[in-house]
Amino acid sequence: MIRHGKIIVATDFSGQSDEALRRAMELAHAFQAEIHLLHVMEPFMVYDSDNMLSMPVEDISAVRRQGALERLEKQAERARNGVTIFPRIIEEMCSPAIAICEAAREMHADMIVIGRHGHAGFLEHLLIGSTAERVIRHAPCTVVVTVPHDGTEKA
């Protein structure tokens, strides 16, 4: 199940992401794997309404990137318990699911662990889908989708 010793955990800093990291830690301990904690963010853009152009604003992007990196490092530090965790930010102009799958492909990840939010309405789910579902469709490796405990206990 784990050949390369690499588990990706996708995070958006939510409680669901914390749960995904907690479960990935258990898998990492069991299989002596390392965790790559990924956060995907779109580059900050300013839209010029007159010309319909967009341009990156480097100062704001740098501040956002630094803030996200600090949050990643704090999340990794809280979870670290004998497992090597590599925090990484991916800044791409694509969907988070595609960025996560491409990172998994590039690093030959054995598994992606991602939390499911489950709060999208029917129309939003129909039109957009969820990041977790898109990761499942495009992933080059096994995907473990975690759900909040309160969602499973009501069933």
Is residue 1 a part of any domain in this protein? no
Judge whether 141 and 109 are in contact, CB under 8 Å: yes
How, if at all, do strands 53-56 and 45-48 pair?
A: antiparallel
Question: DSSP assignment of 69-92, as one string?
Answer: HHHHHHHHHHH-SSS-EEEEEEE-
User: What gap in Å lies between CA 131 and CA 117, rounded to an integer?
Assistant: 9
Write out the residue range of the structural domain in which residue 140 sits: 6-153
In this structure, what CATH number is given to the domain that contains residue 123? 3.40.50.620
pLDDT tens for the chain, 155 residues long, are 678 999 999 999 998 999 999 999 999 999 999 999 999 998 776 666 655 555 556 677 788 889 999 999 999 998 888 899 999 999 888 899 999 999 999 999 999 999 987 655 555 555 546 888 899 999 999 999 998 766 444 44
What domain count does the chain have?
A: 1
Q: How far apart are the C-alpha atoms of 124 and 17, rounded to whole Å? A: 21
Q: Answer whether 68's CB lies under 8 Å from 39's CB.
A: yes
The pTM (predicted TM-score) of the whole model is 0.81
The DSSP secondary-structure symbol of 49 reads: T
Q: Does a structural domain hold residue 95?
A: yes
Residue 113 located in a structural domain = yes
Tell me whether residue 31 is in a domain: yes
CA distances from 73 to 36, 69, 89 (A): 11, 6, 11
Residue 59 lies in a domain: yes
